Amino acid sequence: MDFGYTPEQKALEQVAREFVSSVCPPERAKEWDEQGTLPPELFKGFADMEWLGIPFPVEAGGGGGGAIELAILAEELGRASLDVSMCFTGTIINSLCVFEHGTDAHRELLAQEAFDGKIRFAVSMSEPDSGSDVAALRTRAERDGGDFVLNGQKMWCTGAGLPGTQIVMYVRTGEGDKKHDGISAILVDPSSPGVEMHQTPTLARHILGTYELYLSDVRVPVDNLIGPLDGGWKVMLTNLELERAMMSGAYVGVAQATLDEMLAYSKQRTQFGRQIGNFQALAHRMAALQVDIDAARLLARRAAWMVSAGIPCSREAAMAKYKGSETYVAAARLGMQVLAGHGFSTESVMSFRWRESIVATISGGTSEIQLNGIARSMGLRSY
Ligand SMILES: Cc1cc2nc3c(=O)[nH]c(=O)nc-3n(C[C@H](O)[C@H](O)[C@H](O)COP(=O)(O)OP(=O)(O)OC[C@H]3O[C@@H](n4cnc5c(N)ncnc54)[C@H](O)[C@@H]3O)c2cc1C
């Protein structure tokens, strides 16, 4: 399938595939996960390839690319692991948010420090009592002279503890008729006095890490406001479709890698004198999985194409996120069955795939939340 990619897009796909083979093959991604470290060569590699500036205008020092290039990279990096791909997607989406809604000084910071990987961005919406119900967030920012003063608790902030990270944090600055009103986006340096941060022990996502943040009288200059005061909800939604298209690409890449790995195993493992892949019980399930992966890929690429063409696609992006994430979970589960005892050994890459797949249908909006949106687009209320 080439989807009418330009020669440049095909070349990008090839280069990204070679990057994964040389810098972050799955075995290495697994080791990094086990060590719980973001290896410098990974993020520096993104910067050296000039991928961190891809979606920004050339005149701002970026690459002038768009959603299709980003989705290609997300898919290829997904062949290493979901965590590796999210390392790229997370910082791109939040850099875009700062670029589009920040000040000229923020844009300068991006050109000087973010495109070459000196700093990176994370996002913090979730709180202990506000997960799927994002707009119920309670962390507050009060204006005090030239500063905002932040108090509250945040959870699940991916990558917050990595060096050079700035957080786009959503906080309550006012009240309105709806809970979506009165939310603002503020750029927070997690090394600021008053921020206490703890890494949450998790099944996977250990390269980036996920963090809990306690904020006690944290002072942030008012210039760090990203977008209008009390207008944070719209800021949050700006790149949601692109984010979902990229995440869907990552799920497709990692699901395909998972299938390729079980297929290779099933062709060399023999039992009862036959390759196990030739037992119809397994052959059919792997064939059906390839159908699901191709369907997920088509949905992911449709979403990326619609974003790049400027066509609103919240329904299509939700479909791609839903199908891709569920397909990765199904692929990892089948992989464990095909590899059987060998998969259950924590030395296997498959055991790593299985551990990290679980989060696909949770982070970035659960499968149920995607289905709610799709159902609403069909005229159903779906609470
Ligand atoms: C590894 C990881 C990384 C993350 N990274 C970030 C990050 O960087 N920044 C950030 O802000 N957040 C992040 N999150 C948080 C993530 O977005 C939330 O976990 C997710 O939105 C779900 O919220 P919750 O876990 O509180 O589950 P809940 O919202 O409590 O949901 C529990 C269950 O109820 C279901 N449910 C809830 N509401 C409805 C409804 N209306 N209809 C049907 N079913 C419903 C859910 O689908 C789920 O099955 C991350 C989470 C994880 C696990």
**Domain CATH code at residue 135:** 2.40.110.10
Residues 109 and 128 in one domain: no
Q: Does the residue 242 lie in any domain? A: yes
Please compute the mean of the pLDDT values over residues 338-351 and round it to a whole number: 98
Q: Look at the chain and report how many structural domains it folds into.
A: 3
Residues 92 and 132 in one domain: no
Query: What's the pLDDT at 191?
Result: 96
- What is the whole-number distance in angstroms between the Cα of residue 165 and the centre of ligand 1? 22
pLDDT band, residue 18 (cuts 50/70/90): very high
Residues 85 and 134 in one domain: no
Query: What's the pLDDT at 1?
Result: 53
**Contact call for residues 164 and 91 (beta carbons, < 8 A):** no
Residues 193 and 305 in one domain: no
Q: Does the pLDDT value for residue 114 go beyond 60?
A: yes
Q: Does the residue 213 lie in any domain? A: yes
Could you tell me the CATH number of the domain that includes residue 41? 1.10.540.10
DSSP state of 127: B
pLDDT band, residue 177 (cuts 50/70/90): confident
Residue located nearest, by CA, to atom 29 of ligand 1: 132
What atom of ligand 1 comes closest to residue 130's alpha carbon? 26
Q: Does the residue 1 lie in any domain? A: no
Residues 223 and 247 in one domain: no
Residues 261 and 184 in one domain: no
Q: Does the residue 177 lie in any domain? A: yes
DSSP 151-209: EEEEEEEETTTSTTEEEEEEEE----SSTTTTEEEEEE-TTSTTEEEEEPP-SS-TTT-
Percent of the chain with pLDDT over 90: 96
Pocket test for ligand 1, best of 126, 129, 170, 243 (most atoms within 8 A of CB): 126
Out of 229, 252, 287, a domain closes at 229
Query: What's the pLDDT at 269?
Result: 98
**Contact call for residues 71 and 16 (beta carbons, < 8 A):** no
Residues 88 and 215 in one domain: no
Report residue 6 CA to chain centroid gap: 25
Q: Does the residue 246 lie in any domain? A: yes
pLDDT band, residue 346 (cuts 50/70/90): very high
How many CB atoms are located within 10 Å of the residue 296 CB?
27
Out of 93, 118, 143, a domain closes at 118
Residues 163 and 240 in one domain: no
Q: What is the pLDDT of residues 277-322, one digit of tens each?
A: 999 999 999 999 999 999 999 999 999 999 999 999 999 999 999 9
Out of 100, 118, 136, a domain closes at 118
Residues 276 and 254 in one domain: yes
Please compute the mean of the pLDDT values over residues 218-224 and round it to a whole number: 97
Of residues 52, 73, 58, the one with CA closest to residue 5:
73
**Contact call for residues 17 and 186 (beta carbons, < 8 A):** no
* 126 C-beta closer than 6 A to ligand 1: yes
Pocket test for ligand 1, best of 132, 168, 372 (most atoms within 8 A of CB): 132
Q: Does the pLDDT value for residue 223 go beyond 70?
A: yes
What atom of ligand 1 comes closest to residue 134's alpha carbon? 21
Q: Does the residue 138 lie in any domain? A: yes
H helices then E strands: how many in the chain? 13, 10
**Contact call for residues 38 and 208 (beta carbons, < 8 A):** yes
Residues 168 and 262 in one domain: no
What atom of ligand 1 comes closest to residue 126's alpha carbon? 11
| Mean pLDDT taken over the chain | 96
Distance CA 206, CA 215 (A): 23
pLDDT band, residue 101 (cuts 50/70/90): very high
Q: Does the pLDDT value for residue 2 go beyond 70?
A: no
Q: Which domain holds residue 142?
A: 122-229
Percent of the chain with pLDDT over 70: 99
- What is the whole-number distance in angstroms between the Cα of residue 51 and the centre of ligand 1? 29
